[in-house]
Amino acid sequence: MSWDKQELVPLRALANPLRIRIVSLLTGTAMSATEVADELGIAHGSASYHLRQLAAAGFLRRADPDPAARTGRGQPPRRYTYDPSNEERLDRSGGAPALVHEAVAADQRRRLAAMTARRITADAEVWLPRESWERAVALVEEAVRLVHDRAGEPHTDDSVRVSMTASLFELS
């Protein structure tokens, strides 16, 4: 099922630590199921299934080369990349946000086990003046955009494998 014509994209499609890893991996590059499987150390069939599900939910888009530029015979591998345009269409109703946070927390444990250098860790539950809160949100949004916009292919020269998790919200 394609969610292209739907007003809201189900956040539930991301509620899986492996799918979160796949979306992160495809933020900076386009990859085929074989490449995703090799990079994440999973079976090709599993990578292919999750890529199709994420694409159907609108989190990934096909990034296939121009068919006119193809040489040779046979089908080229289907390549996918992250599609940030669906961010505004996410359906955050029901229990979906909690499921995604659980998946992120599970993946965070894996990332912490792979950590080689800590840069920043922060946690706060505080009261802030509205102006300070809005500035903090804007700064984190800028950092998130920078990380997503500059993400590149894995294992390239002069690149550093990093983890960034940001979650800012107001409390009742």
Residue 98 lies in a domain: yes
Residue 49 lies in a domain: yes
Residue 127 lies in a domain: no
Query: Domain residues for 40?
Result: 9-121
pLDDT tens-digit map of 81-101:
988 776 665 656 666 677 777
How many beta carbons lie within 10 A of that of residue 14, not counting itself?
21
Burial class (CB in 10 A: 0-12, 13-18, 19+), 9: buried
CATH number at residue 110: 1.10.10.10
Residue 30 lies in a domain: yes
Query: How many residues are present in the chain?
Result: 172
Residue 169 lies in a domain: no
The count of structural domains within the chain is 1
Residue 2 lies in a domain: no
Residue 148 lies in a domain: no
Taking the C-alpha atoms of residue 94 and residue 59, their distance in angstroms, rounded to an integer, is: 19
Residue 58 lies in a domain: yes
Please tell me whether the overall predicted TM-score, pTM, comes out greater than 0.85 for this model.
no
Structure token pair of residue 89:
């269409």
pLDDT tens-digit map of 116-139:
988 888 889 999 999 999 999 999
